[in-house]
A and B are shown apart, each in its own frame.
Chain A
C-alpha cells in the first residue's frame, strides 16, 4: 500500500528493516502457499480428493494464518489470498465462490436515502440482504433491522424490533436501520488493529482475515450496525451467493465482525444494493453523492431529510426523508 507511514521510513532504520523482512517473509509464505495450494487444486483428481477432508491444505492454512492486512498486501498477495479463499470455499462449502477485488469507482461516494412514507415494514429488504450477503442462517445475522414505531414519537427506545403481524399496522410507521456508512465512523477509530476502515467511496469495510474479534467496534457503533459471528456461520449450499467481494459478502468465519457494505460487490459494478432492488414500494434511493444529477442528490436538495443521532457528529451517509 503506497503512502502508508510504514513504507515511508528510511531504509536503514531497524524498524524499516524489520518491516521489510517481515513483508518478505509473509510474501514468500503467501506465494509458496498459493503455489502449493494451486498445485493441489489443479492437480490430478485423487490429489484434490485427499485435500478435501477437513478443509484446506496445510500450506493454505499457513498462508492464511500469516496473511497480511488487506491494505498492506500487494496485488499478487491479494490474488494469492483470494486463491486460498476460493479453494477453501470449494472444499468446505462445495461451492465455486468467486471472490472479486473490485476497487472503488473514481469520483463516486455512495449515499442512501429512505422514504419513511413509503416504507410499510414488509422486511423484503432484510430477506434480500441475507440472500445476497451470505449471512449465517442459524446465527440469524441481519444487517437491516426494521423498527416499528408509534406515529406520535420518534423514540427508538419505544420501537418494536420483532413485530409479527400484518403490516402496515394502524398508528405505526416503519424505520429500517442498517450501517449508515458514517463519514466519521466511531467503529474505525475503536478498532485496535485497523481491521476496519473507510474506503474512498465512503464504505466502511472489514478485513475478515484481520479482525481479532474484540467487539470494541460493536460497542462504539451508535446504530447497532455491526454484528459478531458468535458461532460458525452455516448457509445451506444451494443458498450461497457465489458472486462475492473480498471486503464484502464472501463467506465469513466464526469469531469476526461483519456489517452492511451497501452491497459493494454490486454497487461498485454499477448495480443497486440488494435491499434497494427488493423494496416493493420504492422507498429506497441509492446513488452517487458526488453526481449533481443523481436521484439521491435530488432527494437531499428537495425533501425534508434527517439523519439518525446527528448530535454524535458521525455524519452518516444515510438519510431518512418524508414527502
Chain B
C-alpha cells in the first residue's frame, strides 16, 4: 500500500517538473479552464437561457463536441488492436499514449454532458442502485454505462502496466489481456451506442437511419487516429520519448481508409435524401442547400466537405502523404471537417425543422464557446498529466528505488 502511495506521489511530482515551455503550455491551458469556469458559473446562475439553444433546437455545440469526442475515445483501438492482437512493436510502443488520448476524450465527453444538463446537481439520479436508471430502455442510460466503463478500462490497463514497469517488473500480459479484448469491443460499443442515441428517434428523420452507426465508426476511425498522429508528433518533438515513425505511417493509412469509407457513406446519404426527396429530407435540405431562406449551416457543411476532400486526397497520394507537413495538414482537415460534419452538421439539422415544421436556427453563444474551450483545455491537461509520468516511466527515468534493473526500451 505504501508502495502504491509512493508511486502516485512520484507520478505527481513528475508533473511539476518541466521547462519554461511546459509551464507556459500548462499556464495557457489553465487560463482557458478558468475562463471556461467563469462562463459556466454564468450559465449555472442564469440557466441554459445563456446558450443559443431553444425548445426548437434543444441540443447544440455541447452535444456536438460530445459526439465528436466519443469517436476520438473509441479510435484508441486503432492502436490497441495492432499492439495487442497483431503484436506490432511500433503500435505497442505508443499504446499507452493512445489510451491516454481515450481517457482525456472520455473525460471531455462526460463534462460536455454535464454542462448540457439543466440540473447537473441531480447527477446522483443517474447512479445505478441509488438513483433510478432507465436501463435497458434509454439509450442515454446505455451511454452512461459504456462511457464510464470505457474510461475505467482505459485508466486501469495503463495503470497496471506502468505500475509494474515502475517496480521494474515486466507486466504480465495474461493478467490484463482479457481486459484488452473487452476494451476493444467496448470501444466499438461506445460509439455505436452514441449513434443509437440519435438513431433511436424516429421523431427526427435526419438521424433515423441505420447508416448513422457505421458512419460514426468510420468518421471516428478517421478523426481519432488523426488526433493521435498529431499528439505523437508533439511528444516526439518536445520530449525524449522516441516515437517509431512506422506507427504514424500506419495510423495515416487508417485515417485514409476510414475517410474514404466515411465520404462514400456521406455520398450514399446525400443520394438518398436528394434523389427522391420526401418531407423527411427537409433537414438534409436545410443542411446542404437551406430551407425557406434559412441556411446558417450551409457554409459549415461545405467547409467540412471541402476539408475532408482535400485531406483524403493528400492522404491517398503516397508521395504527398509521405511529406510530414502535408500529412499533418490532412490530419487537421480531417479533424476539423469531421468535427463539423458529425457535430454541428449532424446534431443541429436533426432539430430543423421541428417535428411541427418550424424552422428556427441555432448558433452557439460566447458562453457556450468559452465553456467548450474550457473543457477542451481540461482534456489537453488530462492528456498531458497522463502522458508525462507515463513517458518518464517508459524511459526508465521514473522508477522505484528498489526496482529490478531492466533494459530501457519503449517497447514492452
Identify the A interface with B (CB < 8 A). 15, 18-19, 22, 65, 69, 72, 139, 141, 145, 147, 155-159, 161, 177, 186, 188-195, 210-216, 218-224, 227-232, 254-257, 309, 312
Contact = CB atoms under 8 A, between A and B. Distances in A.
B184 interface: no
A159 B203 contact: no
13 contacts: A15-B129, A147-B357, A157-B282, A161-B356, A177-B356, A193-B125, A211-B122, A212-B120, A216-B197, A218-B58, A220-B201, A230-B54, A254-B118
Contact of A231 (B49, B131, B139): B49
Contacts of B203: 186, 219-223, 312
Contacts of A141: 55
Task: Tell me whether chain B's interface is mostly helix, strand or loop, or mixed.
Answer: loop
Interface residues of B, number: 49
Given A218-B58, A223-B355, A232 B138 contact: no
A161 B353 CA distance: 12
B130 A22 contact: yes
Contacts of B113: 214
A159 B49 CA distance: 27
Given A69-B132, A191-B134, A192-B133, A224 B355 contact: yes
Contact of A212 (B51, B117, B356): B117
A220 B201 CA distance: 5
A157 B58 contact: no
B121 interface: yes
A245 to B, nearest CB: 21
A28 B197 CA distance: 38
A213 B119 contact: yes
A235 to B, nearest CB: 16
Nearest to A189: B137
* Interface-central residue, B353, B356, B357, by most chain A CB under 10 Å: B356
A229 B351 CA distance: 18
B29 to A, nearest CB: 28
Interface of B: 46-49, 51, 53-55, 58-59, 113, 116-123, 125-126, 129-134, 137-141, 144, 197, 200-204, 279, 282, 350-351, 353-358
A224 B356 contact: yes
Given A186-B202, A192-B144, A221-B203, A215 B356 contact: no
A268 B20 CA distance: 70
B118 A255 contact: yes
A230 B48 contact: yes
Contacts of A223: 203, 355-356
Given A161-B356, A212-B122, A255-B118, A193 B131 contact: yes
A161 B116 CA distance: 28
Contacts of A227: 55
A210 B122 contact: yes
A190 B138 contact: yes
Given A216-B138, A255-B47, A256-B118, A186 B356 contact: no
A228 B55 contact: yes
A255 B119 contact: yes
A161 B358 contact: yes
B138 A189 contact: yes
A312 B113 CA distance: 28
Contacts of B47: 229-232, 254-255
Nearest to A313: B202
Top 5 nearest A-B pairs (CB, nearest first) are: A213-B118, A255-B118, A222-B203, A192-B140, A157-B357
A224 B126 CA distance: 25
A147 B356 contact: yes
Contact of A195 (B117, B125, B197, B279): B125
B280 to A, nearest CB: 10
* Interface-central residue, A145, A159, A255, by most chain B CB under 10 Å: A255
* Interface-central residue, A69, A230, A257, by most chain B CB under 10 Å: A230
Contact of B201 (A157, A186, A194): A186
Nearest to B135: A192
Contact of B119 (A192, A211, A222, A309): A211
Given A195-B125, A212-B122, A255 B55 contact: no
B59 A215 contact: yes
A219 B356 contact: no
A12 to B, nearest CB: 16
A190 B139 contact: yes
A216 B144 CA distance: 13
A219 B129 CA distance: 26
Nearest to B358: A161
